[in-house]
Chain A
Amino acid sequence: MVILRSLRILGIETSCDETAAAVVEGGSMVCSSVVASQAERHARFGGVVPEIASRLHVDVITDVIARALVEAGLDFPELDAVAATHGPGLAGALLVGVSAAKAIALAHGIPYIGVNHLEAHLYAAFLEEPDLVLPMVVLLASGGHTMIVHMIDHGRYVVLGRTVDDAAGECFDKVARFAGLGYPGGPAIDRLAIDGDPTSIRFPRPMLDEGYDFSFSGLKTAVINHVRNHPDDDLPDLCASVQEAIVDTLVIKLMRAAREVDAKAVVIGGGVAANTALRTRVLDEAARAGIRAFVPARWLCTDNAAMIASVAWWRLHSDGPTSLASGAYPNLRLPVVG
């Protein structure tokens, strides 16, 4: 594997509303990472509009790729492989990244690697901590997904639990929209919650004692009912209390899972992992339990292309290139063992 070690891979990510490109060398050295967010263009609709997202990806893809190469100080012929998220995500949006990556693969005769976006989130932590110890338990929480994954070894996963309804990030977004805080909701609630009292309102923690699955739609309803009945409540208190209920649920289950499978480390990833309260709580609880915790930088938690290039390096190692005849897979699931 000596030859593969220094491979330079260009990663492309277009599964939702971020157009991103990055160059990563040897699976963990980030040479560049560019993220062009479309959030502003979707804000007035209160969520990501797939057709608008797909159009914007086509408009900016060449620019984002060019910036990633300039930042890395490289030109196309110096790339050894090119990767793109091929699922899960919005169909029309995924196709843009997949087509762009294949175009570069065609132009320079280099391998193309189609990457699972969820698996990429699991690998984001390795970009900061290449020697992270396995097995570990990863909490992956974003606007589209909430799951606890047992990462036994590279490429070997068991999903211990997942949401049965709304994703945690979706719950943040819906509460924020209801409270008139705009879109995306997570960062807005995070900001306001700093000045609030998390114990002021006791919201439910659904399914807390039932395995590792999550349910957030009941919490969302409880928040809406509370606001209807107490319209004059302090907004920071509301935000802090909602956040507390979500963080509580996530962290309690994460730590319980880590103890049960005897994990050497716990890791968080996904857009919700950028939440300040969640980050602090995971570090505290892990320290108390004597388990290593790894909380990647915020930019590595939210969608980016460095994690795509990183996991591509591992998959190229184990599975070889992806066929140019492959497509986009909007409902792709995490490959699991057992």
Chain B
Amino acid sequence: MAHLLCIDTSTAQVGVAVVSEAGILGEVRLARGRLHAEQLAPAVSYLLAELDLSPSGLAAIAVGNGPGLFTGLRVGVTTAKVMAQALRIPVIPVSSLDLLAYPLRHTRRLIVAAIDARRGEIFHASYRRVPGGIQRLGAYQVGRSSALAAELQAGAQEVLLVGDGAVRYADEFNGSALIETASAIHSHPSPGALAELALARYQREEFSQPWAIEILYLRKADAEANWEVGR
């Protein structure tokens, strides 16, 4: 049986899960904020020990590769890449926005996943249900929360909004009867969603080599952005 270790640290949460063909065997979610580096390795160690699994028994490592909190992502993605490298197993990257939307796939409404990007901005993407899952409509984006709120309000479509970006900028989205914000239990990317999505990809052999994994930043480093503006 193939066991996959799943890691997402793209928001204030450290999320870890282990999945096999038998289902999700365990999940750890901690949301204390900026403690990704301190909490991720102990969470992985705890989960593997409780499941009586040796790291050498893992078949692949799945990781939420953004967009989201830069420092959190660097901890999660580096851990996944290097652990996979050390175990000679592949990595399965999944966007953290997909992980927010996936658990809501039973609605007929438009699903909009929104992660807090600070500075009045959010990372977001839209999804609709398709048989067996979700389909993303358009690109992953970063923009003002107010701009997304205006766009959704003008869209005349019923929307289910999810993520810590939706919570943080609730004031801007709450004005419309078309938009409902999902319960706070869905606000952070679900390690269980990562487990289900990653297992399906693993079975289709859709995986990458550790060194090829990149973080989806959606934003240039400030210095680089300023440099280009200044030219």
Contacts and interface: CB of A to CB of B under 8 A. Distances in A.
Nearest to A323: B42
Contacts of A91: 71
B103 interface: no
A: interface residue count bin: 35 or more
A182 interface: no
Interface string A97-120: 011101111111100000000000
Interface in B179-231: 210-211, 214-215, 217, 221-224, 227
26 contacts: A49-B223, A51-B221, A52-B224, A55-B217, A58-B74, A58-B77, A58-B81, A58-B215, A61-B82, A62-B82, A66-B211, A95-B71, A99-B41, A99-B74, A99-B75, A99-B78, A102-B41, A104-B82, A106-B44, A107-B55, A107-B56, A108-B55, A324-B41, A324-B45, A325-B41, A325-B42
Q: Which A-B residue pairs are the 4 nearest by beta carbons? A: A51-B221, A107-B86, A103-B83, A103-B82
Contacts of A96: 74, 78
Nearest to A96: B78
A37 interface: no
A62 B211 contact: yes
A107 B61 CA distance: 12
Contact of B40 (A99, A105, A108): A99
The SS class assigned to the A binding surface is helix
A109 B55 contact: yes
B79 interface: yes
Contacts of B227: 44-45
B148 interface: no
A162 to B, nearest CB: 28
Contact of A65 (B37, B42, B82): B82
B28 interface: no
A324 B42 contact: yes
Given A62-B211, A325-B41, A104 B83 contact: yes
A62 B85 contact: yes
Given A55-B217, A95-B78, 10 more contacts: A49-B223, A51-B223, A52-B221, A54-B71, A54-B74, A99-B78, A99-B79, A102-B79, A104-B82, A106-B45
A34 B223 CA distance: 28
B39 interface: yes
